[in-house]
Amino acid sequence: MQDDTAVYLHPPVAAEFMEEVETADTKPPQVRLAFRVAYLGTGFSGSQQQPGIRTVEGVLIDACIRLGLIDDFRSAGFVAAGRTDANVSALGQVVAFSTPYPERAVSNLNRMLPFDCWCTGWAQVPQDFHPRYHARSRTYRYIFPSSGLDRIAMEEASSHFVGIRDFTRLSRLEEGRDPIRFIYSSRVFAEDDVIVYEVMGKSFLWNMVRGMATLLLAAGSGLISPDRIEEIFSEKGDRIPAAPPDPLILWDVDCGIEYHPLAPSDSSACRFAEEERRLLTRRKMVMWLGGDRPDVPWKKEVHDKLGDLL
């Protein structure tokens, strides 16, 4: 999709800006930065800041304050491209804020963040940049176990989501929100030992992608035919239950920005290596104890939720 959103190109950090020396009479000017953020959602109660709860925005804002980059999130204009639910992960979330100390932010922010949240890129942007309103598109991925599912049926089912649709039945519709959404692309593909659903649109409603995942699971399980999705869009009825949040990833938010890459901290890399080993161990235990079918309990739960709805 083409629009008039500018692409911001920037030289490396050392040539981009030098922090000015702050005196009693002068303070460095505010510089607005955008960061591309990744996080493992299982340790967060969603992305949106909430008092007394660990959230993605919460740890980012806390790190910025401890580094002296901002005094508070409001005066710094700290904003994100969107919110994700508890247990939903991200590879390409985008946040922006203004600070008089951009070099300190780029050099030290990842060192201050916990292992399960880190910045993968940065860019200097105009002062009016808002990642939510400047986003050209958003892309999500949902991961299914390959065992016991018909990928071809899921591919056919995914094609029925493309275009302008009323997603009232596939989302938790907030009051005043327009249920009509434009889906640019929708596809299913195999990768390693999983099935991946990837969907790109201008914007999404609350639980919308998880509702789409439920219908794909139903099609892949043989519970419904792929063309049944067309009927669900056209008929009135109860809301389709949302699939579990854990396999969902906010894959990308395209704001027309070219980012300078950032690496996670050494401690973050070590913790992720430990997490990978833990997951591999857990998978082996599940295979031994569950008869090599770790997807069966989850599929049965979804079937029970659907009941006669489909």
Which residues of the chain fall below pLDDT 70?
A: 1-26, 286, 290-310
Q: Write the burial class of residue 106 (CB in 10 Å: 0-12 exposed, 13-18 middle, 19+ buried).
A: buried
Q: What is the pLDDT of residue 272?
A: 79
Catalytic (active site) residue 4: no
Q: What are residue 210's phi and psi, to 5 degrees? A: -70, -30
Q: What are residue 201's phi and psi, to 5 degrees? A: -150, 175
Catalytic residue among 3, 72, 85, 254: 85
Q: What is the pLDDT of residue 290?
A: 62
Q: What is the pLDDT of residue 264?
A: 85
Q: Which SS3 state, helix, strand or coil, does residue 41 take?
A: helix
Q: Write the burial class of residue 94 (CB in 10 Å: 0-12 exposed, 13-18 middle, 19+ buried).
A: buried
Nearest residue to 208 (alpha-carbon basis) of 83, 36, 47: 83
Q: What is the pLDDT of residue 276?
A: 81
CB 36 within 8 A of CB 93: yes
